[in-house]
Amino acid sequence: MIGNTAIVLAAGEGTRLRPLTRNRPKPMLPAATKPILTHVFDQLVDAGIDDIVVVVGYQRERVQSHFGPSYRNVPLTYVTQESQLGTGHALLAAESAVDGTCLVINGDQIVDSRIVRDVADAHGTDAAATVALLQRSTVDQYGGVRTNDGNVTSIVENPRDDRDYHLNAGVYVLEPAAFDAVRETEPTAGEHSLVDGLSTLIERGATVSGVVSEGVWLDATYPWDLLEVSFELFDAGVVDGERLTNGLDDATVHESAVIRQPVVVGRDCVVEPGAVVGPYACLGENATVESNALVERSIIDTDTRIGANATAIDCVTGTGVTIGAGSTIPGGPGDVRVEDRIFEGEALGALLADRVTDRGGVTYAPGSIVGPDADIESGTAISGTIAADTGVRS
């Protein structure tokens, strides 16, 4: 067993989720209607953690101003990773804030309390570290772990060979020796890696245990993954999609509107006459769906307005977005450009980053991405990627 302290690594940006992460770090992006980091904290508290150290860095004020000094009566201690130089560097930034054995978890992935408890219960007195593992058909996007008789024999980032691996769930119990190993391991490409530190422990003959869990684990690597993560939260019962968040008293839903479960509707939302919301729709706080609009399989973030007769399917918005009257986001699949790669056939109708203004009657080709503060004139056809702060004319 371990103590009740957890280090949450929440300093990274999440570059592959741009432009949503231009103004906030990945852990603050929405999963359903709550930041990913809220789900992480909930699961830690549910697992019995009563002291949380949060490593912040990129846009750290967004984390600290949102959560403040505590969460669900559990104190939050913030430490800053001044430069994002890897997970090992982030871990060492928190070293002085913990004493002895502690749990470490990524702050940008949703890991349920069962996984936390499983790795805590499995950690023995002879182990320098214990790693939570998952059985997955493919692990090439993440870390692959090979074990023998319950002990980790190797950890490989993005494995491409045909050997059998477990998925590294990004949840660890670490002894002080693990901090030392991370500190003493040479950086790779200028970054200190927690995983490389564990590999150093293994090479030195220390015991690194692995425990396979069947708990829920979700990660959003690319923008369309936010949709899938939210839908899986519904299906796993982590998010209750059969009632409005905080009850009907905190949202205004017209009697002629249609709510098709599962949905989650934040407080102070307004759903006007004839609007159809759901299935698999997430409306953040103070969102408005005007009359006869349709929102389906979408994440509509805080302070966003969907205009009358508009359609939003497979849509992800940032905060403060306006989708004008009669605009159409018909849904995926579409081809999406992320940095210098094209991803074909992804289930993304469109992504509209923070404060995009669509003046109405706009049509979006599947896979469209619009950067923050763009202003789109009425009647425009949008496709591909629109840069931030762009005025788009028909």
Confidence of residue 243 (pLDDT cuts 50, 70, 90): low
- Whether 310 and 296 have beta carbons less than 8 Å apart is answered as no
On the question of pLDDT at 358 being above 60, the answer is yes
Is the pLDDT assigned to residue 218 strictly greater than 60? yes
The reply to whether omega before 279 is within 30° of 0 (cis) is yes
Residue 1 predicted with pLDDT over 50: no
What whole-number distance in Å separates Cα of residue 70 and Cα of residue 73? Answer: 6
* Distance, C-alpha 279 to centroid of its chain: 21
- The pLDDT of residue 236 is 82
CB-based burial label for 232 (10 Å; 0-12, 13-18, 19+): middle
Share of the chain above pLDDT 70, in %: 97
Instruction: Report strand pairing: 281-283 vs 298-300.
Output: parallel
| Domains along the sequence of the chain with CATH | 5-219 (3.90.550.10), 240-392 (2.160.10.10)
303-347 per-position pLDDT tens digit: 999 999 999 999 999 999 999 999 999 998 888 888 788 888 999
**pLDDT computed for residue 246 by the predictor:** 43
**Span 264-281, average pLDDT:** 94
Lowest pLDDT segment from 97-101, 134-138, 275-279: 134-138
* pLDDT category of residue 241 using cuts at 50, 70 and 90: low
pLDDT mean across residues, the chain: 89
Residue 27 has a pLDDT of 94
Evaluate whether 116 touches 216 at the Cβ level (below 8 Å): no
In the predicted structure, residue 2 carries a pLDDT above the cut 80 = no
The 3-state secondary structure of 242-288 reads CCCCCCHHHEEECCCCEECCCEEECCCEEECCCCEECCCEEECCCCE
Q: What is the pLDDT of residues 276-287, one digit of tens each?
A: 999 999 999 999
User: Is residue 245 predicted with pLDDT exceeding 50?
Assistant: no
